[in-house]
Structure 1
């Protein structure tokens, strides 16, 4: 069994600080492999990945890096509203700055839910650095099922107990986190959003994982993400959070997929 060390850091990016955590296996081969960068969902943060990063680090022998986006978790508050291009902006601007500050060259982009869209954008923007793309319960477009799931969650989140639970992770930023998610996705101006444009620029192998019972999106999402680029893996009986509902299954799938990557810096062919 590999021992996993955790390292926390606050990074100054422009006028704001972001919180990041690394899980590093005690394995001499770790440095030969591109680390995995985790991008969280619309209500997420580093802590809400729970045990998944450590388990993934142990299974793959790779460094795992997760961070709280601006406005989330232990990172600084967001100065305003999310822009309609917030998914693309994360991949274009924040990710490369974060990687440079953490000394990361090549990397694996792995995102959950909207973080999956950000991982797609990252892979498209940085084809020379992104070795592989993994999406978990990602949305590829705005689907009626996605919007209905958000409306149901909106009603549930009005309960004080749910807000208090989120506040354990986001503190006094919690109301902003909730509003940023709901108001952005339900906005008519966001209805035409898709990942089609960045998908056309993805040049690395792709694994798109999706739960059969995902309340925020049908199997059309992973199928669109993986089409002609890799594999769409549907997990039976699983909902929107595979890394908590079926951690071992998800880790095994990702580890098997990444085992096909060469440690030298060359990429395997898409779908290989």
Structure 2
């Protein structure tokens, strides 16, 4: 789709703090289709999607919305330690986003842990979620996930890496890193699965995964595909790791565009 989507910034009030959100409007065509809501990963934020939201808006003709979860990016700090049920609880926080952005109908797309959150939202807000896309999402805790997190934590011993993280999260950067590492290595997460949330999903679902994902084996998207409506097999991106929207954005957008074009959504 030609043209550059219009960009608008929003502040969303919640009982726990204010959220930062950005809307990319795709023009008149996008006004007639349900918007896509993006959920970022454990170290992510709106800024770290880079130009993916604009690309996705142009390709699909839909409005694309991204927001910083509480504790991340330009949103307010999280009030305390991250709880062990933070993935499922994002569906509760999403209520304020949905109400204040007037999202009667919408599509969820989540990356990594954001894929789990998108799944929880799709199940808890089934009255409005028309389609779900997970990208490099985890459906259960496996050794590869924990090993990848430990390796990433060692890399953040480099002050330059922490400085880059702080560039996006400010003085919340230490909390962001600790929340990721400590939560996944906590006792409650030893046997965590996304199964309960997957069982509540009623909309068409597409699971996408990089063949070389360092944080999850192909068993992850296969479980998502097996437990949700939609294609029985996931879409596997060859020669791609954990961050397809940066490594190979056009190869990620192509199956999303095709999936949404054939899904029974507005």
Please give the range of the TM-score, normalised by the shorter of the 2 chains.
over 0.9
1:37 aligns with: 37
CA distance in structure 1 between the aligned counterparts of 2:264 and 2:131, rounded to whole angstroms: 11
What pairs up with 1:133-152 in 2 under 5 angstroms?
A: 133-152=132-151
Aligned residues: 262
1:165 aligns with: 164
1:89 aligns with: 89
CA displacement, residues 139-173 of structure 1 (integer Å, 9 cap, x when unaligned): 00000100000110111111101000111100100
Partner secondary structure for residue 110 of structure 1: strand
CA displacement, residues 97-155 of structure 1 (integer Å, 9 cap, x when unaligned): 10110111111011000000001101111111110000000000000100000110111
8 Å contact 1:110–1:136 — kept in the other structure?
yes
2:175 aligns with: 176
CA displacement, residues 29-64 of structure 1 (integer Å, 9 cap, x when unaligned): 222211000000000000000010000000001110
8 Å contact 1:40–1:111 — kept in the other structure?
yes
Which runs of 5 or more structure 2 residues have no equivalent in the other structure?
A: none
8 Å contact 2:118–2:134 — kept in the other structure?
yes
Q: CA RMSD in A?
A: 1.0
CA distance in structure 1 between the aligned counterparts of 2:171 and 2:5, rounded to whole angstroms: 31
1:11 aligns with: 12
Partner secondary structure for residue 230 of structure 1: coil
Q: Per-residue deviation at 1:15?
A: 4.1
CA distance in structure 1 between the aligned counterparts of 2:176 and 2:110, rounded to whole angstroms: 18
The equivalent position to 2:258 in structure 1, one of 256, 259, 262, is 256
Partner secondary structure for residue 38 of structure 2: strand
1:268 aligns with: none
CA distance in structure 2 between the aligned counterparts of 1:263 and 1:88, rounded to whole angstroms: 24
8 Å contact 1:32–1:263 — kept in the other structure?
no
Partner secondary structure for residue 239 of structure 1: coil
What pairs up with 1:181-192 in 2 under 5 angstroms?
A: 181-192=180-191
CA distance in structure 2 between the aligned counterparts of 1:43 and 1:50, rounded to whole angstroms: 14
Normalised by the length of structure 2, the TM-score is: 0.96
Normalised by the length of structure 1, the TM-score is: 0.94
Partner secondary structure for residue 48 of structure 1: helix
CA distance in structure 1 between the aligned counterparts of 2:264 and 2:30, rounded to whole angstroms: 13
